[in-house]
Structure 1
């Protein structure tokens, strides 16, 4: 699968209204596009950050949906956003949550690596990191998204609630230390978000 992410920062006071509009309109707009396989909407209300990820069964579906929806996406985000960054990814390892109750949280880790080490990173996350993350209380699913050519990746992990996410930090740090050393990657940032919406569309 393939993923497009949109990351916006802006005025925290204007975040809620934009998040509400996106949670209502984005699933409808996206579900009309061929190849759509789900989305996630995440916010940091305190700092004023918004993250949207949409999932696609192939690169062509992702590309054509972006061309069709780019203008409307910009209109929806504009009342909040001071800056917007859109990125495209290969979903290299996927363990998406089947269902999340209200109150779930999400941790995003941004990584950099040398492009020749891409397969090593995928193998390390799949065989070393993900099995250990699954053993952490409250962990509900996670995925590795990768841009092989640019040497960039993100690891996203869902937790059942904010307390579980907070309690996981030490255990996750140990997993991350082992995995980043083994995969020869650099951690660029760690962020935590409230989960506003997740939608998973299974192939028919």
Structure 2
């Protein structure tokens, strides 16, 4: 499974317009493209940073879709009054304890490690992190996306609501430090987002 993430640096006052546009215009259009497995949108209403992610059943489907989604991306960026960056990933882990409800929130962690150790990172997360996450109240799901060429990765953990996310912060911080030390991983950024749109059909990958 593969994914394309578009990070939009939006005008915070236009985020509601952006969410409506992505939900009503972009999502139906992109789901008609062969190989599309759904779409999600994360929003930080204070900074204006939004992340729209589309998932694909193969690297080939994602590659073929590039030209088709370009005008959609440009239009959505215009609606939100910002600029955008695009990255493509392989999805190596997707685990759901339960479906995310309305009002769910996500903690996203960006990291960089050794490209040759991407599989080690995935296996370590599966065996040491997932069992501990399942014990955290309010935990919904986790996904890991990697760029094997550069060693970059994104880990997204979803919780029932903002209160659950914030209550888990201490346990997750300790867990993350242990994990990063085991596989020599450098965390480059971390942020919290509202899960504004959640319509992904990616199967469990553990």
Alignment check: 8 A CA contact 2:55 2:202 kept:
no
| Higher mean displacement: 95-104 or 179-188 | 95-104
Partner of 2:76: 76
Gaps of 5+ in 1: none
Kindly indicate whether the alpha-carbon contact (under 8 Å) linking 2:5 and 2:87 is maintained by their aligned counterparts in 1: yes
State the Cα distance separating 1:83 from its structure 2 match.
2.6
SS of the residue 1:191 aligns to: strand
Query: Using the alignment, how far apart are the partners of 1:134 and 1:99 within structure 2?
Result: 13
Counterpart CA distance in 2 for 1:190 and 1:10 is 18
Alignment of structure 1 residues 1-204 onto 2, 5 Å: 1-96=1-96, 99-201=99-201
* Residue 97 (structure 1) shift: 6.5
Distance in 2 (alpha carbons) for counterparts of 1:84 and 1:30: 18
What is the Cα-based RMSD across aligned positions, in Å? Answer: 1.5
SS of residue in 2 equivalent to 1:142: strand
Q: Does the 8 Å contact 2:108/2:191 carry over to 1?
A: yes
Mapped contact 1:96–1:141 kept (Cα < 8 A)? yes
SS in 1 for 2:65: helix
Deviation at 1:200, TM superposition (A): 2.7
TM-superposed CA distance for 1:26, in Å, is 2.1
Give the Cα–Cα distance (whole angstroms) in 2 for the partners of residues 39 and 22 of structure 1.
Answer: 9
Q: Distance in 2 between matches of 1:31 and 1:18?
A: 18
Secondary structure (helix, strand or coil) at the match of 1:106 reads: strand
Q: Are the counterparts in 1 of residues 4 and 87 from structure 2 also a CA contact under 8 Å?
A: yes
| CA apart distance, 1:79 | 3.0
CA deviation after TM superposition for structure 1 residue 14, in Å: 1.5
Bigger mean CA offset, 164-173 vs 22-31: 22-31
Distance 1:97 1:70 in 2: 34
Residue ranges of structure 2 left out of the alignment (5+ in a row): none
Number of residue equivalences? 203
Structure 2 residue matching 1:140: 3-state secondary structure: strand
TM-score by length of 2: 0.93
Could you say what secondary structure the match of 2:124 adopts? helix
- Describe the shift of the 1:96–1:39 C-alpha distance in structure 2 as closer, same or farther (beyond 3 A): farther
